[in-house]
Amino acid sequence: MKNGKPASIQNAVTILLNKEQTMCLDQIALDMRKNSGHSISRSAIVRALICAALPHFEEWLHCESEEELCHAFVGQLNGKQ
């Protein structure tokens, strides 16, 4: 992302999700399709989540594990610092 705008060139990144995470993304995509009539991919959902999350990265620099990062992010979502 540059100057608040999505980059025009996309790079492939592979992520591994557990079964529950994958099922959740699939349910979100299904519900969005029912509501809008338009399909959305798991990748598009993950890109939207990352786009919303990355502005807060400086607050995550002291996290030492995925678990700590998850707790920090949830705290931000809940309005806690």
Taking only the tens place, the pLDDT of each residue in 33-74 is 999 999 999 999 999 999 988 888 888 899 999 999 999 988
In this prediction, residue 1 carries a pLDDT of 52
pTM confidence score: 0.75
Kindly give, in sequence order, each residue whose CB lies less than 8 Å from that of residue 53, ignoring residues fewer than 6 positions away: 73
From CA 44, how far away is CA 6, in angstroms rounded?
12
Beta bridge partner(s), residue 5: 2
User: At what angle are helices 42-53 and 19-36 packed, to 10 degrees?
Assistant: 100
Beta bridge partner(s), residue 2: 5
In this prediction, residue 55 carries a pLDDT of 87
